[in-house]
Amino acid sequence: MNSRITRRLGKAFPDALISQKRKMKPVIPFIGDTWWLGVGRVLLFTVLLFLCFFILFIRLFHLTIIRGHEYRALADGNRIRELVRHAPRGQLLDRTGKPVAVNEAQYRRLLPCEAGRTANGACVSYLTQAEGEALEKTGLPVGSFLETDWKRRYVLGSATAHILGTTGEITAGELKDEYYQLRNYRTGDRIGRSGVEAIYEDRLRGRDGKELVEVDASGRILRVLGRDTEVTGIDIILSIDAGLSQVVAQAFPEGKRGAIIVSKPATGEILAMYSSPSYDPNLMSTGLSEDEYRKLADSSDRPMFNRAIGGVYPPGSTFKIVTAVAGLEEGAITGSTEIEDTGIISVGPFSFTNWYFTQYGRTEGMVNVIRALQRSNDIFFYRTGERTGIERLAVWARRMGLGSLTGIELPGEAAGLMPDPDWKSKHFTTDADLEARNNLWYAGDTYHIAIGQGYILTTPLQTAVWTDIIAAGGRYCVPTIEKVHPGISSGPACQELPIKKETLSLVTDGMVKA
């Protein structure tokens, strides 16, 4: 209903102006409540839908164009797996070609690290050939893979343990070493730890191959896509004789400590080397726990210690060979020189006896060098050492290999000790020694050295070396554990020592008659 309003506006207008209030219509017809319920919602939904498609397009562009190659590589990685085909080590053969260290097939199982680690912290475990084949049939757990691998077996066991040595799994610390990184060593690889296995590691180790396989979502191998064949390591022919090595080990007195060395004087080749007590190197191949290894390594019998090259002992009467050579070469004695066996030599309050007199109370009369070597007469060599002098005796001892490393390839060799007055003055320097004059060299010191007693220390290998010099006619060859091939390789360096033929003949005659 319209309302009437009367206003007075002045003379220009009628006294009464009638106005009617009316409802105004909007200028834009769609602005109002009906717009949001109709066209507005459709427009907003269209804009939002467009934005969503735009965002999806940008994301798709980023995934397929910008980073597509990365995700394709990841997808292939989940579908294609590269497995290592581990190369067998080269075999170790004796001088006749008989294998003394061979390879036996086994498997290396690769485990997801987060699922559990082996005792050494690596995601690797080892299975026998039968265990690996059985696991392949039943199926591997998700994320696990099998790689063909090899373990070492030592045919003669403890008889050749100290020559052949052992292998052991590479440690995490060694894998960080540049030397092993450059040679592509991997977790679980086994390397030479001692003996021949260690010194010829680069030759024995083969070149690993590769195998590309397609796997399903559970990790099961579907098919082989490609293969790079592994290359076996180089076989090494050693100087040892397998049969002789067994005989030597069996002949050694049970429960005794010591060493036996059999060598070829003309070339320096070692035909057999046995150190007692010994150990079975096959235990290392199957894997020892840390406690088992420590028990073996810390044993008071020291079975892993190679006494043949690392043990030093007074050589005893074997050193009389050197004393005889020194005396003859220096002119202190000749082949016709005779020295009376008095049974005992007294120097002040000290007495030096012959073993025959000590045991039986008897003497042997006049003795020459041949008879002295035959009977190992101490009186003769006391006097020969005294006539030669300790300085010249020491010179000849060192020429024949005493007091320095022989140069054999095996690690752990000791140099021994050839004492002389200068050595004694440098090592007996305490106030008590000086007061007692222990730093001085006495005739009794020379007597002791001349028969291989006193301060002198040698290894069994050094004893074999100076014996070989006589047997080889004065030729000194560096001992070796690798076979010397006549006409192909000359072996380690050999040299002729300045020993007269007459000297060699006299000493040889005495040794043969002993």
The hierarchical CATH code for the domain 79-237 is 3.90.1310.10
Closest CA to 493 of 479, 477, 480, 481: 477
* pLDDT tens-digit series, residues 195-205: 999 999 999 99
DSSP assignment of 12-78, as one string? TS-S-EEEE--PPPPSSTT-SHHHIIIIIHHHHHHHHHHHHHHHHHHHHHIIIIISHHHHHHHHHHH
Compare 445 and 29 and report the one with higher pLDDT: 445
Percentage of the chain with pLDDT > 90? 61
The hierarchical CATH code for the domain 310-513 is 3.40.710.10
Residue 499 predicted with pLDDT over 60? yes
Angle in degrees, 0-180, between the axes of helices 460-471 and 501-513, rounded to the nearest 10: 120
Instruction: Produce one character per residue of 358-381: b if its CB has 16 or more CB atoms within 10 Å, e if not.
Output: eeeeebbeebbbbbbbbbbbbbbb
Note the pLDDT of residue 31. 53
Mean pLDDT for the stretch of residues 412-418: 96
The answer to whether 252 and 260 are in contact (CB under 8 A) is yes
The answer to whether 468 and 331 are in contact (CB under 8 A) is no
Closest CA to 75 of 60, 63, 62, 58: 63
* pLDDT tens-digit series, residues 350-380: 999 999 999 999 999 999 999 999 999 999 9
> Going by DSSP bridges, is the β-strand pair 17-20/209-215 parallel, antiparallel, or unpaired?
unpaired
Query: Is 13 exposed, middle or buried (CB count within 10 Å of its CB: 0-12, 13-18, 19+)?
Result: exposed
Note the pLDDT of residue 303. 95
> Going by DSSP bridges, is the β-strand pair 350-353/344-347 parallel, antiparallel, or unpaired?
antiparallel
Band the pLDDT of 64: cuts 50, 70, 90: confident
* pLDDT tens-digit series, residues 227-281: 888 899 999 999 999 999 999 999 999 989 999 999 999 999 999 999 999 999 9
* pLDDT tens-digit series, residues 468-485: 999 999 999 999 999 987
Note the pLDDT of residue 5. 47
Residue 80 predicted with pLDDT over 70? yes
Mean pLDDT for the stretch of residues 144-164: 91
Per-residue CA distances from 128 to 285, 286, 383, 458 (Å): 12, 10, 66, 45
Note the pLDDT of residue 206. 92
Tokens of 117: 């680690």
pTM of the model: 0.79
- Note the maximum CA span of the chain: 182
Percentage of the chain with pLDDT > 70? 84
Note the pLDDT of residue 227. 84
What's the rounded Cα separation, in Å, for the pair 398 and 247? Answer: 33
277 preceded by a cis bond (ω within 30 of 0):
yes
Closest CA to 99 of 290, 236, 250, 245: 236
Note the pLDDT of residue 70. 59
What's the rounded Cα separation, in Å, for the pair 199 and 411? Answer: 8
Q: What is the mean pLDDT of the chain?
A: 86
- Fold identical between 79-237 and 310-513? no
Give the least confident one: 93-97, 364-368, 492-496: 492-496
Give the least confident one: 90-94, 388-392, 482-486: 482-486
Active-site choice (125, 144, 317, 505): 317
Query: Is 295 exposed, middle or buried (CB count within 10 Å of its CB: 0-12, 13-18, 19+)?
Result: exposed
Angle in degrees, 0-180, between the axes of helices 390-399 and 378-388, rounded to the nearest 10: 100
What's the rounded Cα separation, in Å, for the pair 468 and 466? Answer: 5
Note the pLDDT of residue 25. 54
Tokens of 266: 């003309």
The domain limits of the chain are: 79-237, 310-513
Note the pLDDT of residue 147. 80
Per-residue CA distances from 3 to 7, 20, 22, 25, 469 (Å): 13, 6, 9, 19, 148
Tokens of 140: 């591997």
Q: Which long-range contacts (CB under 8 A, 24 or more apart) does 108-115 make?
A: 108/146, 108/147, 108/148, 108/149, 108/188, 109/135, 109/144, 109/145, 109/146, 109/147, 110/144, 110/145, 110/146, 110/147, 111/143, 111/144, 112/143, 112/144, 115/141, 115/143
Mean pLDDT for the stretch of residues 296-320: 95
Give the least confident one: 116-125, 265-274, 308-317: 116-125
The answer to whether 152 and 105 are in contact (CB under 8 A) is no
Give the least confident one: 141-155, 168-182, 256-270, 492-506: 141-155
Residue 69 predicted with pLDDT over 50? yes
The DSSP H or E segment spanning 165 is none
Residue 285 bears catalytic tag:
no
Note the pLDDT of residue 120. 42
Residue 455 predicted with pLDDT over 80? yes
Note the pLDDT of residue 437. 95
β-pair partners for 344:
353
Other beta carbons within 10 Å of 402: 25
Compare 17 and 338 and report the one with higher pLDDT: 338
Q: Reduced to 3 states, what is the DSSP secondary structure of residue 280? A: coil
